[in-house]
Amino acid sequence: MPSFVLNQGLTGSGAWCFAAHESAREDRIEIYGSKGRLSFSVYTYAPIHLCTSEGERDIEVANPHMFNSLLLSQLLRICKDMVPVIVRVLVQLQLTG
């Protein structure tokens, strides 16, 4: 299972099954911390969803410019473009796990 570490020491892992039935497909990464939860999509440009004791809100992120390439290249580009936004939100909320 692939795993990753963000600048703030936040760790995660993921699993993908592209042959799953439509009813079993879910595209969401969730990060839980002591002050809230952050969730976002990898394959779509749905807003980042933030949930804290102060309430819930969606954060719009501009779609990165995409080009025709292999799926892995697209995934890496999307993650690279989203990580700075996610890290800024996590630092602001001081989500440390």
- Global confidence as pTM: 0.52
How many whole angstroms separate alpha carbon 82 and alpha carbon 91?
A: 14
pLDDT digits (tens, 9 = 90+) for 1-41: 677 777 777 777 777 777 888 887 778 888 888 889 989 88
pLDDT in tens, 38-68: 898 877 788 999 999 999 999 998 776 654 4
Write the burial class of residue 95 (CB in 10 Å: 0-12 exposed, 13-18 middle, 19+ buried): buried
Pairing of the two strands 36-40 and 29-33: antiparallel
Position with higher pLDDT, 66 vs 86: 86
